[in-house]
Structure 1
């Protein structure tokens, strides 16, 4: 993998990580104010999908090392 590809992956990882944290804060605020449970559930599902994407990007950056 080239340096440019790694840099792009790191940039996307950082962006998604920030978005994931922002979504977490929004979910907590919605729970505190007693918003619609269905909307909260949808946001939690989106957050979980982001977490899966973050894990996939992290796996691309860390090479498999067979010991």
Structure 2
């Protein structure tokens, strides 16, 4: 499959994956409230947490993003 074909894959995220990303994002924000936190949580970081699994699914030519896929 060519790069152009992979660009036309638009994966959807299953509910379990959405929940896992939400939980992880909330955890990051909670930890970033600490004064000694190395890096604050932001909306941009949250967007990245969504974009990375979608891009991973696109590379694998998968139509869905499922929870726990990269480490399987």
Q: Same fold (TM over 0.5)?
A: no
Q: By percentage of residues, which structure has more strand?
A: 2
TM-score tier, shorter chain, comes to 0.3 to 0.5
TM-score, normalised to structure 1, is: 0.43
TM-score, normalised to structure 2, is: 0.40
Q: Which has the larger radius of gyration?
A: 1
